[in-house]
Amino acid sequence: MASIPPDAQQCFGPFLSVCLSALPTTAINVSVTDGDLDINTDAGASASAQCDPGVSNYCVVAATQITIAATKKVRGHGARPLVFVAVGAFELFGEIDVSSTDTVLGAGTSPSVCLGARAATINSGGFGGSFGGRGGDGEQVDGDRGIASPSLGFPPVLRGGCPGGAGGAGGLGGYGGGGVGVVASMVHIDGKINASGGGGRGGPATKSGGGGGGSGGMIVLDVPQSAIIVGSGARLFANGGGGGEGGEAASAGADGGTASGPNVSGIGGNNGGPGGNGGEGSASSTLSGQNALGDARSGGGGGAGGGGAGFIHATGITGDNVIAPPSLDTLPQ
């Protein structure tokens, strides 16, 4: 993708390509004495930090400088991906969270299933969401198991990940992780950016399949490597959620878990019942979600697959305990 012309003074980021309605004149400082910052990225939504009205495809929060203190969290949720633009420095010591849960969609993720997967039927387990990595397949018990779609290439725009598939007569799939981008003159990361997918729901209290874990979302630091400073506390991750456990007549299956760090999988649901256990989501440099374990017992439904990895572009940041999935340093032209 071509760089923004140098005379376009209100446009930022060769990949994100955001053009502000006006240059910012104030700084954003989420200090240790402030509350956490919640940002609704829906078009027209009110928020503590307003989205720039001149940008329609992203919620762009712009300032002369942006600082997020340690112990503070910025939570992004809603229909559009979240983008921070700092004319000067962007410094993160706390947390930016655009991950998805069973009740909240991370910023910019879609609740609709991405194309190419096969839905589970009868009592079989659902598929894990695929994005940068392929999701895991569900467990076949009766009918068809959920089959995950292939992984995708790096998207041409910032977006969220793909949800997992519902289990047959069973649990809902987890939402994919959201999308977040940063453009600044200098980026200092000594905190956490989490764009992970949600865990799939366990099957209800009947013979039923678990729901697949959602895929990880997308993180883009749209600056050259020379402008990135990495502290010892830096953690960037867009891991998949764990698949849900199948249900059985006496009790519902356990929900899949969500990632809490780059090298921590979203665990598959497992309460020890006859329903099949869910597969783990992606973590570290393992991009694929795990297939369901195939251990359903008599009367139990199938477990679901774990979600695949998302995408990260953060040039020069490495290490399985620091970034997951590994950074894709070359972006589409």
Give the lowest-confidence range in 35-39, 119-123, 309-313: 35-39
pLDDT at 333: 59
CB 60 within 8 A of CB 51: yes
**3-state SS track over the chain:** CCCCCCCCCCEECCCCCEECCCCCCCCEEECCCCCCEEEECCCCCCCCCCCCCCCCCCEEEEECCEEECCCCEEEEECCCCEEEEEEEEEEECCEEECCCCCCCCECCCCCCCCCCCECCCCCCCCCCCCCCCCCCCCCCCCCCCCECCCCCCCCCCCCCCCCCCCCCCCCCCCCCCCEEEEEEEEEEECCEEECCCCCCCCCCCCCECCCCCCCCCEEEECCCHHHEEECCCCEEECCCCCCCCCEECCECCCCCCCCCCCCCCCCCCCCCCCCCCCCCCCECCECCCCCCCCCCCCCCCCCCCCCCCCEEECCCCCCCCCEECCCCCCCCC
- Residue 49 is predicted with a pLDDT of 58
**φ, ψ for residue 225, nearest 5 deg:** -55, -35
What would the mean pLDDT of 40-66 be, rounded to a whole number? 85
Q: Return the amino acid letter for 320.
A: D
Q: What is the average per-residue pLDDT within 42-49?
A: 66
pTM: 0.95
The domain segmentation of the chain, as residue ranges, is: 26-111+158-333
Q: Is the pLDDT of residue 7 over 50?
A: no
Average pLDDT (11-30) is: 94
pLDDT, mean of residues 197-225: 98
Amino acid at position 199, single letter: G
Average pLDDT score over residue span 46-66: 85
pLDDT on residue 261: 98
What is the rounded average pLDDT of the residues 136-141?
98
pLDDT band of 4, cuts 50, 70, 90:
very low
pLDDT band at 237 (very low <50, low <70, confident <90, very high): very high
| pLDDT tens digits along 146-176 | 999 999 999 999 999 999 999 999 999 999 9
Residue 325 · residue 282 · CB < 8 Å: yes
- Decide if pLDDT at 218 tops 60: yes
Question: Does residue 1 surpass a pLDDT of 50?
Answer: no
pLDDT averaged over every residue in the chain:
94
Task: Tell me: pLDDT of 47 over 80.
Answer: no
Report the share of the chain in percent with pLDDT over 90: 88
The predicted model gives 30-40 an average pLDDT of 93
| Segment 69-93, tens digit of pLDDT | 999 999 999 999 999 999 999 999 9
Distance (Å, whole) CA 139 – CA 114:
20
